[in-house]
Amino acid sequence: MIAIFIQRLSYYWKLITILLCVCSCSTIYAQNCNLIIKNGRIADGTGNSWYRADIAIKDGKIFRIGQLDSLKAESIIDAKGQIVCPGFIDIHTHIEDDELKNPLATNFISDGVTTVITGNCGESNTNLNKYFKFLDSLKLSINVASLVGHNDVRKAVMGKAMRTPTDTELKKMDSIVEQAMKDGAVGFSTGLIYVPGIYSHKEEIASLATVAAKYGGVYCTHMRNEGDSVLDAIQEALYVAKTAGIPLQISHFKVGGQNNWGLSNRMLQMVKDARTSGIDVTIDQYPYTASSTALSTLLPEWVLADGQDSVKARLERPKIKKQIINYLVIRLSNRGMKHYSFVVVANNSMDSSFNGKSIEEINLQLNKPHTPFSESATIIELIKDASPSALFHTISEKDVCNIMQYPYNMIASDGTIRVMGIGVPHPRSYGTNARVLGKYVRDQHLMTLEDAIRRMTSLPAQKFHLNNRGLLKEGYAADILIFDEKTITDNSTFSNPHQYSSGISYVLVNGKIDWQNNQSTGVRNGIVLYGIGKKD
Ligand SMILES: [Zn+2]
């Protein structure tokens, strides 16, 4: 009897041992992961204080966060006490046509950007299904989402005509926006200083924004004015948001023109009041005192209608030329300026020796008189032959700082993918995030490190419904950045822009290392991110 009892006991014991072994083996198997980041200080994107923990990554996602000594990984990164945070989400970019030039997008990756939203300021592909397929086949180092842009939608239906659309035309525009939202756009954008958006009225914009709203889109606007009439322009943007019932994003929030410096207080108050009244409005900003856009934006809007040929023909007529020169001379004196020294040509296809020089300098280089009249004539000559991009040094540092302190302000570059050494572009494409973290957080204490990171990560992810991004959280995409907050620095300057930011040790996109020790790894692991309104 006892013998049978002992025999049974030993049988059960064996069974329990086998079961325990199976369980623990499967646990070990399940706990294997691709990569562990150890010894980091986690700033998780919520804005909460950093804490110490390790992060395990598996299959492109964050697998575990905590004390992870029991986990096994294929490789380990020692963060050496540096900050570990979500990759930055740059919601305001213009990468169209530059993707092929540098698919590694090194200027963005080196500045900690792992996701961009393109299609801003009214410029986008109108067939987003085709565009997303192109991005899928190309594979960039960064994730990409897109807006659908008003200017291109309008051009597709009515060219560059300076008039309001007919009902039929508006319906056609509505349907292009609707299809783009179904294809996965994250919203609708306008650029109301550009042709042909400049010819549209707010009711047209509200109609198109209403369509985007149906699919969970955001309305992003480069407003009609960012200078003397900026308050009216904010009013118009708020009107569209309210009428269409759509969340509003005011792009590159700023005020230009020496005579308008200090207006940022009133501008921010309008945003705060609108939020109090129930309008879901947020803003974004690049941390520089110069803007960058087409030189032709200096001209009156009627000159720019109907395409480059018509523009050239107009500018060659002596009477019109004289009229525009007078307009430009008056514009200069209204700013209290004697010369067009604050406008610097960035990329002139006809003569690259002009790149990096102000209109004043170019005019002198051409041996022309040192007068506002002559400089205005030089501007017309430049625009007539091509349409160069230019930098406009017209923003006050005080306004930049004031706007930066607003908590629902995201950091966004307004940049594009750059090729090292080409042109003299605005430094924002290279250094936006590092500049905020170095100059404005570390040196000037305008906000906490954690709050700056929140505005570069979870705030944009929340606004554009980029689900499972923007936070360091189990199950979220492993878009991760490791940097030293004591040394992070933007090195790109206006005179020498092609410089990567420093202080960023690692950038991971969807779990793979895209940037390590100041260079690209050559990995292109970005994907297309679709809007929540996408229909299959
Ligand atoms: Zn813009």
Residue 507 Cα distances to 141, 481, 488, angstroms: 10, 5, 14
Going by C-beta distance under 8 Å and a sequence separation of 6 or more, which residues neighbour residue 42?
Answer: 50, 51, 52, 53, 55, 65, 84, 85, 472
Give the whole-angstrom CA distance, residue 39 versus residue 26: 27
Cβ atoms of 63 and 32 within 8 Å: the answer is no
Closest residue by Cα to residue 388 from 300, 295, 309:
295
The model's confidence at residue 536, banded by pLDDT at 50, 70 and 90, is confident
- Whether the per-residue pLDDT at 377 is higher than 50: the answer is yes
Ligand 1 geometric centre to CA of 71 (Å): 47
* Cα(358) to centroid(ligand 1), Å: 21
Q: For 435-503, give the DSSP string.
A: HIIIIIIIIT-SS-HHHHHHHHTHHHHHHTT-TT-SS--TTSB--EEEE-TTT-B----SSS-----BS
Of 97, 111, 211, 250, residue with least CA distance to 531: 211
Mean pLDDT of 441-469: 98
Mean pLDDT of the chain: 93
pLDDT at 10: 57
pLDDT band at 24 (very low <50, low <70, confident <90, very high): very low
pLDDT band at 477 (very low <50, low <70, confident <90, very high): very high
The span from the CA of 298 to the CA of 516, in Å, is 42
CB 274 within 8 A of CB 281: yes
Distances (CA, A) of 94 to 145, 148, 153, 429: 11, 12, 16, 10
Of the listed ranges 66-80, 98-112, 305-319, 474-488, the least confidently predicted one is 305-319
Tens digits of residue pLDDT in 385-408? 777 999 999 999 999 999 999 999
Q: What pLDDT was estimated at residue 7?
A: 61
Q: Which two tokens stand for residue 397?
A: 């540092």
Phi and psi (nearest 5°) for 513? -80, 115
Q: Is the pLDDT of residue 21 over 50?
A: no
Measured in Å, residue 222 CA sits from the centre of ligand 1 at: 5
Q: Ligand 1 centre and the CA of 92: distance in Å?
A: 8
Percent of the chain with pLDDT over 70: 94
CA of 223 to the centre of ligand 1 (A): 8
State residue 221's pLDDT score.
Answer: 98
CA distances from 153 to 120, 188, 363 (A): 13, 10, 37
Structure tokens at 416: 């594009």
Contact 57, 452 (CB under 8 A): no
Ligand 1: centre distance to CA 190 (Å): 8
Q: For residue 149, report the distance from its CA to the centre of ligand 1, in Å.
A: 11
Residue 9 has pLDDT above 70, yes or no: no
Q: Is 335's pLDDT higher than 90?
A: no
Task: Please tell me the distance from the alpha carbon of residue 110 to that of residue 431, in angstroms, as a whole number.
Answer: 9
The alpha carbon of 508 is separated from its chain's Cα centroid by a whole number of angstroms, namely 18
Is 35 a residue whose pLDDT tops 50? Answer: yes
Ligand 1 centroid to Cα of residue 403, in Å, is 17
Q: How far is Cα 498 from Cα 136, in angstroms, rounded to an integer?
A: 28
Among 37-41, 330-334, 361-365, name the one with the lowest average pLDDT.
330-334
The two counts, helices (H) then strands (E), for the chain are: 16, 21
Provide the pLDDT for residue 301.
84
235: CB partners within 8 A, 6+ apart: 270
Q: Which residue has the higher pLDDT, 259 or 80?
A: 80
Q: 69 CA to middle of ligand 1, Å?
A: 48
Contact present, 86 and 452 (Cβ < 8 Å): no
Per-residue confidence (pLDDT) for residue 69, from 0 to 100: 92
pLDDT at 23 over 60: no
Beta bridge partners of 389: 294, 347
Whether the per-residue pLDDT at 372 is higher than 70: the answer is yes
Strands 143-146 and 148-149: unpaired
User: What's the CA-to-centroid distance between 295 and ligand 1, angstroms?
Assistant: 13
Cα 163 to ligand 1 centroid, rounded to whole Å? 22
Nearest Cα neighbor of 49 from 6, 83, 25 is 83
Kindly state the DSSP code that residue 259 receives in the 8-state scheme.
G
Rounded to the nearest angstrom, the distance between the alpha carbon of 356 and the centre of ligand 1 is: 21
Work out the average pLDDT over 216-225. 98
Mean pLDDT of 408-429: 95
pLDDT at 31: 59
Instruction: Give percent of the chain with pLDDT exceeding 90.
Output: 85
- pLDDT of 6: 52
Residue 409 has pLDDT above 70, yes or no: yes
CA of 363 to the centre of ligand 1 (A): 27
User: 290, 394 in Cβ contact below 8 A?
Assistant: yes
**How far is ligand 1, taken at its centre, from the CA of residue 513, in Å?**
31
Q: Please give the structure tokens belonging to residue 210.
A: 């209403």
DSSP state of 279: -
**What are the C-alpha distances in Å from 294 to residues 72, 323, 379?**
53, 21, 12
